[in-house]
Structure 1
Amino acid sequence: MLVHIIERTRGILLDCIKDLSNEQLNQKPSKKEWSISQVIYHLYATEKEAADLILQSFNALNKEEKRKDVTYILERSKVNVSIEPPETFFLKSDLLQLLEESRFQYLQVLFKEIYKDALMEISVVHPTLGEISFESLTDFICLHEQRHTIQIKKMKQKII
């Protein structure tokens, strides 16, 4: 079920950017806004960070943490950005590869020699969210990507 949800979310994101050129991906709607490529890089880095935290948690076996409500991620004004993307020109192929890499790492952590029950009992300490269960972290990854997909759709309207 978790895999289906995160894969569906990724499919929506990829569909949203499939027709954009490298130039469009790297064009900023304004000087104060990120480009679409920077938003995608931010998603990659956030998911990679989550997978790293889970791996560290398995090594440390933190105490169980109750599921946390992370739906606030959908509202930009309530979010502190912990991962800033670099100011660089990205090729679409590189961005797609980064997204694939982070998702593969996340899924690998999900299934590597662990059962669902064991996953639901662990928690991690996230730099922004604090102590959070694996299940809540997975919710966060999906909601975070959904919010940025909506952001990208709005950005496309400004640059196309």
Structure 2
Amino acid sequence: MKSLANKLNVFCWVILPFIICISFESRASDSFNLGDLSEALQAGKNVVVIVNSSRCNNANSGGTTPESISGLRINSFKIIKNDKLLFSDMHQGISAKGNATFEYIRYTYSANKELKLHIEILETGEVKRIVDLTCAVPGGARFVWQ
């Protein structure tokens, strides 16, 4: 029964003496375009990008990267001429040497359904390029919103 509710995007609660059901729209990247994604973001919907790095092209080595699945809720964004969507994320951490680090990830999604990730780390005043990934959507990356 749980999988049926998930497939129908319907949630029900039993509150005596009533049953309350709420339906919501959920979209995945298999059947959308940049305009749909832009509308979802501008309407304030919760949009999440999910990346499987092992299914993306590593521009630095020409191959793929070790399997890693990551997700990010898009909180701020910029849309350029309905052709590109830009957003980013930053994490703070500590390196193996004990130095404070800042990892910066810039995402660029284009109308041709390609997501590029540019990842750099700032450690003790030095910026190090970690990797540039190119992911096909929905192959290596996908967007989900509701």
* Interval containing the TM-score (normalised by the shorter chain): under 0.3
TM-score by length of 2: 0.23
Higher strand fraction: Structure 1 or Structure 2?
Answer: 2
TM-score by length of 1: 0.21
- Of structures 1 and 2, the one with the larger relative CO (CA 8 A, separation 6+) is 1
Higher helix fraction: Structure 1 or Structure 2?
Answer: 1
